[in-house]
Amino acid sequence: MKLKNLSILTALLLSSLLLFAKNYQYNEKNGIRTFHQGSMFVKEGVPFLSVKGDSYEMGLQYGVLMNDQIMKMQVKVDSIVETYVGKFFLKKWIANMVLKSKIKKIEKRMPIEFIQELEGVAEGCDLNLGEVKMMAYFPQIFFEISCTSFVLKNENGIVHGRNLDWPGIEIFAKYPLIVNYHRKGKIPTTILTFVNYPGAYTGMNHNGLSMSINMNGCPIPEDKEESDYVTDMPMPFELRYVMENADELSEVDEMFENYSTHGWFITVGSSKDQSGAMYELTRGECIKNKMQDNYVGVTNLAVSEKGRYEYSPINMHGESNITREDKLNELNQNISNDNLVDKAYQMVSSTAYYELPHDTSWGCSINNDITVKSCIMDNSRQKIYFAYGEKLAGCNQFLSYDIKSEEVGIYKEKKEIPNEAYYNGRKAYRKWLKTLFTKKKQLEKEDYKKIINQIDQFNLYPAYKSNELRKCYANIKNKEKAYEHADKYIELLPTYGSAYYGKYYACKSFNDYEKAIESLQIMLDKAHNTTADFFYAKCDILRLYDKMQTQSPNPENIRQMKKLNQEIKELCKPFYPAKWVKSEMEKIDAMIAKYQ
């Protein structure tokens, strides 16, 4: 009897599992998968997906056609979560609870159509809804982006260039995806994204309206919270919403007029208007910057006077923003406007740092060490040119994609990275350092000696090598060698501010304050300096005079401190008085007050 009951129970369980099992199958012919109205094919390692219908149906097609890629991506996302929170069960459990809480807060601001879309994805793939949502919202919970965007035009058309700089998600670049969303009753829209990320950081609708996102690091006022301004749907979903409902700049104006968020720059190109604009979305306010002289562009620093000064603290006028901004303007002026796509390609693929063919730190050029996607959207001809990569994506092979015909071709072959051998040498060196000293919180004297002995095994850029040796010799208290390599760095890169800071650090470590001051003063005279560089250098020089006064009292030290204090305050006047800047000023005032 018991056996019979067990058999009946087993049969019931099996039948219920079969009843609720996902039993969706796509068809495949000539390399093209189809399911309902959706289709997907892969060219040059990139999936091109088209989904059609209402929100849920588009999601269902997405889940069925992309299930293989979604499952592979899920493993990577899970591994990244582990690197942030650790593998320990309790830690991971707590982290998942926190993530679920954040997702609930995000979804309170999400339009129902996007939630329905994710429900469809979960129905179509082998993940549950919670896992699909985790992947969909994961990037904007954990990571911040730092990008470059611009729009160019001539009498024949308009193009929109953009580099996505996104640290921490380099592995996602191995899971690129181009999606054509044909939402029922809306304008078809193409998004350049990653597997199972439904937001739009870059895209263009099929009427020629393109949009891209840059991060805006303007701080929140001290008496406010971010939630006071961020009251609408997350920005990447707002972009999809705008592109699916607008094809003219005036319509974009209307949609942003009542949209409240904080911390974004949105660059827009419009084929219908034959123009472009950049919108600064800061503290719930929207400032529109119109195209001037056939160009509008942005890095991560506001273009408007109000955004640039009233909302931006002095540190935002630093090297990573200013060097890219200056190089964009320089390339726009120097490259002919005859072929806009080629001009945009030269701009997005540029690794130059002022007169250098590449930025030796690989962090301040347009195409840099955290560029994971590089693209050009031809608004007038409905074509997209793009490349993905874990680093320096703009140097990778560029594909061309015709949105209407869905033809894929090769626009540019992968090009050589300037001084690629040095670049690879630095990667190998850093990997060695990380492996060798991964468990040590602080290196010991013997560790620095080991680096000195091993460093010649790596093919390092001479200036980079000199700086590494400077640090090592300073840490083992070899003054002569530390100064020798600091001077070598300056000799090799005389307009590079970091070189002079290398000498400053070496001198400071040996309490040689006069030489440290001299190094920074020469930097301010000879190097490429931003407003932020002047601020930091003058603050550091002032502190050195304070140390000199403690070491050997002299009225001239105090006079110099007071003079520098006034110069620093004048430097800061035009900019937003961020909390940390005010704190810095208070510390300096207190330092000088000791000598009153």
Give Cα separations from 10 to 21, 126, 310, 447 (angstroms).
16, 24, 70, 63
Q: Which helix (H) or strand (E) holds 116?
A: helix 112-124
Least confident of 156-160, 223-227, 313-317, 347-351: 223-227
Report CA-CA distances (Å) from 95 to 118, 133, 531.
22, 15, 40
Q: Please state, in angstroms and as integers, the Cα–Cα distance from residue 83 to each residue in 76, 86, 197, 289, 567, following that order.
A: 11, 6, 20, 40, 44
Residue 103 — very low, low, confident or very high, per pLDDT cuts 50/70/90? Answer: confident
**Regarding predicted confidence, which is higher, 26 or 23?**
26
434 vs 365, more confident: 365
| CA–CA distance, 415 with 182 (Å, rounded to integer) | 35
pTM tops 0.75: yes
CA 367 to each of CA 166, 217, 266, 306: distance values in angstroms, whole numbers, following the listed order: 12, 20, 19, 28
Count CB-CB contacts under 10 A for residue 354: 14
Q: Which residues pair with 295 in a beta bridge?
A: 152, 292
Percent of all residues in the chain with a pLDDT value above 70, rounded to a whole number: 91
pLDDT tens-digit map of 377-423: 999 999 999 999 999 999 999 999 999 999 999 999 999 988 889 98
Closest residue by Cα to residue 253 from 268, 233, 263, 272: 268
C-alpha R_g of the chain: 27
Residues 160 and 374: beta-carbon distance below 8 Å: no
Q: Percentage of residues in the chain with pLDDT exceeding 90?
A: 80
Closest CA relative to residue 464, chosen from 507, 432, 496, 431: 496
Condensed to tens digits (0 to 9), the pLDDT of residues 261-313 reads 999 999 999 999 999 999 999 999 999 999 999 999 999 999 999 999 999 99
Name residue 212's beta-bridge partners: 202, 267
Do the beta carbons of residue 388 and residue 178 sit within 8 Å?
no
User: How far is residue 531 from each of residues 89, 314, 463, 545, 568, measured CA to CA in Å?
Assistant: 47, 7, 25, 21, 11
Q: How far apart are CA 371 and CA 363, in angstroms?
A: 9
Give tens-digit pLDDT for 330-340.
Answer: 999 999 999 99
Measured CA to CA, the distance from residue 582 to residue 590 in angstroms comes to 12
Interval 491-503 mean pLDDT: 96
User: How far is it, in rounded angstroms, from Cα 133 to Cα 112?
Assistant: 14
CB 485 within 8 A of CB 466: yes
Residue 218 pLDDT > 60: yes
Q: 188 pLDDT exceeds 70?
A: yes
Which residues, in sequence order, are CB contacts of 179 under 8 Å at separation 6+? Answer: 49, 50, 51, 62, 190, 191, 193
